[in-house]
Structure 1
């Protein structure tokens, strides 16, 4: 139904896998936003001339295929899902990046036939420019977190989706950039656009979780707005 796809607006926003399904019915572009940490890590890798192979969480077959393709698997070397681990990643590296939210949603988004981009605060304007180039409508998919596990999927079984401050802000920053180019925003996207305050990232639940586990540097990297020209786009399953 058009109502769930937010029909009539150039830029739309929804959450998680259900959001991919709803927006993917009409949107030519889907932007997956997982600020802490998949999209931020992807931005850093692509910004250094690398590529990211998203792998669904706990998908052993996907990991095996990534190894066969010559990818370095995050967690099996010095490179992990954490943004701070990839700031010096060598250009040309193909990094297989399993993630419970962002990577899994990228795979689902690609199955809709839409162009798939990975967006965050760091590359909000670059992603908006790429989306404009590709043509609309544009669906912003805020990944959210899951009750029962931490940001990196560690813990028990996945619970229900937990909407989170960082992904609303990331999607909002992209929405605001698109609005600056005259694109109409759905009420959901417009509300997110008004929510952007990067100073709040450190104090939100996810920011406090990372800081409490000694990863404050990852929060700092993720909280930088429009410092990157990278616009990671999926082609044949790889973000580059």
Structure 2
């Protein structure tokens, strides 16, 4: 790969999907994974409730065994969930009750998080809910002059498996990057600065824009409007989920 595609001259980088994540996150001090309308909003909700989240591949046949081995509840797909069952829906996680450990499969944010664990120093999950908290934590725990930050919009998939850039993930990544700019954090790549600007265009109108975009419209049409509302709760999440060998736990 052409080295300029790694955005390595810049301390803060932005790109899309698994390939973009690997390109910009190799050796990064912090990799921030954003998957707004599923994984990272559900992750933020779980983290605020003190639930340890174990990321796992989507539709893996051994997921029930993995959950049992880790004494965890397995989150099922939204459409497969029975009444009261925990699913990948943030609304179902908020109502989960006494769950302590949750296996949270996802084809995008979860898979990217696991992939980046081996190439980035630290992996955290971010959404609109906890974007300000993630930026505050980065600014508090890292040196703006020396740290490298990779922010990844997970995106979605077309039927053929190719990446479908999802505008909600651009906004979520941009919310983290805009908050870093508010901390006077230097060194944003042009790609990162563009994502921050994209978020500022919809700031204060997150819910209406999430409901109107393709991914949000799909969820609303499927009866999951509450998930979209929860995803739009900018700043409601105060926990920074950090990926450890035990799963995602609250960052110190």
Normalising by structure 2, we get a TM-score of: 0.86
Alpha-carbon shift at residue 134 of structure 1 (Å): 4.3
Is this contact kept in 2: 1:48–1:90, CA < 8 A? no
Is this contact kept in 1: 2:30–2:120, CA < 8 A? no
Q: Which residue of 2 aligns with 1:159?
A: 161
Q: CA-to-partner distance for each residue in 1:36-66, whole Å, 9 max, x for gaps?
A: 1100001001101111100012333454223
Structure 1 CA distance for aligned equivalents of residues 59 and 158 of structure 2: 17
Q: Which residue of 2 aligns with 1:174?
A: 176
Number of aligned residue pairs: give it: 231
Structure 2 CA distance for aligned equivalents of residues 7 and 39 of structure 1: 26
Q: CA-to-partner distance for each residue in 1:141-178, whole Å, 9 max, x for gaps?
A: 10000012xxxxxxxxx521000110000000000111
Q: How does 1:139-218 map to 2 (within 5 A)?
A: 139-148=150-159, 158-183=160-185, 184-196=187-199, 197=202, 198=206, 199-218=208-227
Structure 1 CA distance for aligned equivalents of residues 178 and 165 of structure 2: 19
Structure 2 CA distance for aligned equivalents of residues 62 and 88 of structure 1: 22
SS at match of 1:12: strand
Q: Which residue of 1 aligns with 2:232?
A: 223
Is this contact kept in 2: 1:29–1:134, CA < 8 A? no
Structure 1 CA distance for aligned equivalents of residues 191 and 53 of structure 2: 29
Check if 1:115 corresponds to 2:122.
Answer: yes
Q: How does 1:1-240 map to 2 (within 5 A)?
A: 1-75=2-76, 78-90=85-97, 93-132=100-139, 133-134=141-142, 136-148=147-159, 158-183=160-185, 184-196=187-199, 197=202, 198=206, 199-240=208-249
Is this contact kept in 2: 1:24–1:114, CA < 8 A? no
Please list every run of 5 or more consecutive structure 2 residues that lacks an aligned counterpart in the other structure. Answer: none
Structure 1 residue ranges (4+ consecutive) displaced by more than 6 angstroms after TM superposition: none
Alpha-carbon shift at residue 98 of structure 1 (Å): 0.6
Please list every run of 5 or more consecutive structure 1 residues that lacks an aligned counterpart in the other structure. Answer: 149-157
- CA 1:140/1:63 → structure 2, altered by over 3 Å: closer, same or farther? farther
Is this contact kept in 2: 1:63–1:96, CA < 8 A? no
- CA 1:95/1:34 → structure 2, altered by over 3 Å: closer, same or farther? same
